[in-house]
């Protein structure tokens, strides 16, 4: 019966890619006040613009890790159908969801000893995680075994480069990523942080740029420094309700590197609650993160 690749909504994959590769997606959840909401519901369009409008109005949005029961609900039907299971998880450096999945997998392995269950910590986030899943799914379509795909992921996941900038420092301040002083001064001076996800799967501020356009150009500069054969790659771009800036970034990437295939999508609400409107990111394979 083969094996099923599963990921979570933190991968920010487009519906088109989810359908193309027949992926299963575990939805991470968030709260608007006391109301719990799903980041992803199969067959239903997420109201991203509405969500980011809430953030712009400074409505309190909180997140929580995906619990054991959510993974059991997602994993068990796959095992019951006689399939093995490969789950590519949101970075353990940013969330405890990967550990919840591992705990569930241990119990399900005991209940279904004839099945193979593998949970891989991607150490990636947003469409960085999504790009890792994309490559895994392509390998599956090429006929690679689950073991071969897991080996490829482990060998390449620290080459999956994430470069971000944000437009509003309020959200990084609220999450403890920058100090209140940095947020106030940065806002007044128009300073935009340039960040990446490091080898531990954590978000780190690397540099600062004066103004939005300089920050966007900084993302491209970092890509130029490390990307491996960028013209032959598929590149992912994610954004926090700033589609025009995402297209500007895509055009810069196309013109500088000759990239032919770029997929653009929104940053989901669980990540967006921490990064805020105007977040912009590019993902590609490089010599190092």
- How many helices (H) and strands (E) in the chain? 11, 13
Residue 242 is predicted with a pLDDT of 97
Residue 178 is predicted with a pLDDT of 59
CATH 3.30.1180.10 occupies which residues in the chain? Answer: 159-285
Residue 9 is predicted with a pLDDT of 97
* 109: exposed, middle or buried (Cβ count in 10 Å: 0-12, 13-18, 19+): middle
Q: How would CATH label the architecture of 159-285?
A: 2-Layer Sandwich (3.30)
Residue 180 is predicted with a pLDDT of 62
Contact (CB, 8 A) for 18 and 48: no
pTM: 0.94
Residue 182 is predicted with a pLDDT of 59
Residue 204 is predicted with a pLDDT of 87
Alpha carbon distance, N-terminus to C-terminus of the chain? 36
H or E segment to which residue 4 belongs:
strand 3-8
Averages of pLDDT over runs of 10 residues in the chain (289 residues) are: 94 97 97 95 94 94 92 98 98 95 98 98 98 98 98 98 89 63 60 92 90 96 97 97 98 97 97 94 97
Give the class (CATH, top level) of 3-157: alpha beta
H or E segment to which residue 250 belongs:
helix 243-257
Q: Name the nearest CA neighbour of 166 among 181, 152, 177.
A: 177
CATH 3.40.50.10170 occupies which residues in the chain? Answer: 3-157
d(CA 63, CA 31): 6
Q: Name the nearest CA neighbour of 253 among 267, 266, 236.
A: 236
């Amino acid at each position: 019966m083969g094996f099923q690749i599963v990921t979570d909504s933190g991968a920010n994959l487009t519906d088109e890619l989810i359908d193309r590769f027949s992926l299963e997606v575990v939805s991470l959840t968030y709260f608007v006040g006391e109301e719990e909401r799903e980041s992803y519901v199969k067959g239903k369009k997420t109201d991203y613009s509405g969500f980011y409008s809430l953030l712009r109005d400074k409505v309190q949005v909180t997140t929580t890790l995906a619990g054991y029961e959510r993974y059991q609900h997602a994993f068990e039907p796959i095992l019951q159908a006689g399939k093995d299971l490969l789950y590519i998880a949101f970075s353990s450096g940013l969330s405890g969801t990967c550990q919840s999945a591992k705990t569930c997998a241990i119990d399900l392995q005991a209940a279904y000893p004839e099945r193979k269950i593998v949970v891989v910590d991607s150490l990636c986030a947003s469409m960085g995680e999504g790009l890792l899943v994309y490559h895994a799914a392509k390998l599956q379509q090429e006929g690679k075994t689950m073991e071969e795909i897991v080996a490829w992921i482990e060998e390449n996941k620290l080459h999956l480069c994430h470069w971000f900038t944000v437009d509003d420092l309020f959200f990084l301040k609220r999450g403890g990523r920058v100090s209140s002083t940095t947020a106030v001064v940065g806002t007044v001076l128009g300073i935009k942080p340039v960040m990446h996800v490091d080898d531990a799967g954590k978000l780190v501020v690397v540099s600062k740029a004066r103004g939005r356009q300089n920050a966007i150009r900084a993302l491209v500069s970092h890509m130029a420094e490390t990307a491996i054969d960028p013209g032959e790659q598929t590149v992912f771009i994610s954004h926090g309700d700033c589609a025009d800036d995402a297209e500007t970034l895509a055009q810069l990437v196309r013109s500088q590197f000759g990239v032919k295939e770029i997929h653009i999508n929104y940053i989901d609400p669980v990540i967006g609650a921490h990064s805020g409107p105007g977040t912009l990111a590019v993902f590609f394979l490089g010599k190092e993160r």
